[in-house]
Chain A
């Protein structure tokens, strides 16, 4: 059974700092990995999707990497802003199943 772990559970940084969020998974037989953002009381917004054959994806200040063999992904956020404060979730897809981590709650302080 696929298990997805995100460390740390919570992170607080000053504005402007570069930061890395971590995601690990136990079964490397995945089709893709997605990073989502969730604001309090809201739904999930897809940030980046990395196919299993890819190593990384970039969107603006966000960069996500995938090392399928070691079961790890990182989400790099450059020059963090208070508006980046949210919970970030990673999810891995295999067959008809998407498994989520519990998320990292990020707070960026002005």
Chain B
């Protein structure tokens, strides 16, 4: 009954460091996506994947990298963290791009 699992829940990085946010789902969903949520703004799409081996950019992809080697996992990599990447990151999965989406609990990232 896990659904979408994100790790870690909290992270503090120094400017210039790199890290990977993990996302795993156990619902056999083809579509997975990453969003960031900033105060006063809606969630914005960073990257998405329509299936293993296929990824594409969303609205705000700069500074982030993704890969999808399995159906279950969709990690988000920050290549060189910047203070502007301080945000709450959500991973979501669904059977398709326009079906009901299931979200993880989020990762709160602070870049100092």
Question: Residues of A at under 8 Å CB distance from B?
Answer: 4, 31-32, 34, 36, 41-46, 49, 89, 91, 93-103
A96 to B56, CA, bound (A): 9
Q: Counting CB contacts under 8 A, is B43 at the interface?
A: yes
Q: Interface code B90-108, partner A: CB below 8 Å = 1, 0 otherwise?
A: 1010000111111111100
Q: How far in angstroms is the closest Cβ of chain A from B36?
A: 11
Using an 8 Å CB-CB cutoff, how does the interface string of B48-60 with A read, 1 for contact, 0 for none? 1010000010110
Contact B98 A32 (CB under 8 A): yes
Residue interface bits B25-62, CB-to-A below 8 A is 1, else 0: 00000000101000011111100101000001011000
Indicate if the CB atoms of B103 and A44 lie closer than 8 Å: yes
User: Would A49 and B100 count as touching, CB distance under 8 A?
Assistant: yes
Among A43, A96, A100, A102, contact of B97 (Cβ-Cβ < 8 Å) = A96
A103 CA to B42 CA in the complex, in Å? 7
Given A34-B100, A46-B102, are A97 and B42 also a contact pair (CB < 8 Å)?
A: no
Contacts of B59 on A, CB cut-off 8 Å? 97
The chain A residue sitting closest to B33, CB to CB, is A98
Return the CB mask of B69-112 against A: 1 if under 8 Å, else 0. Answer: 00000000000000000000010100001111111111000000
Selected from A49, A93, A94, A100, the residue in CB contact (under 8 A) with B43 is A100
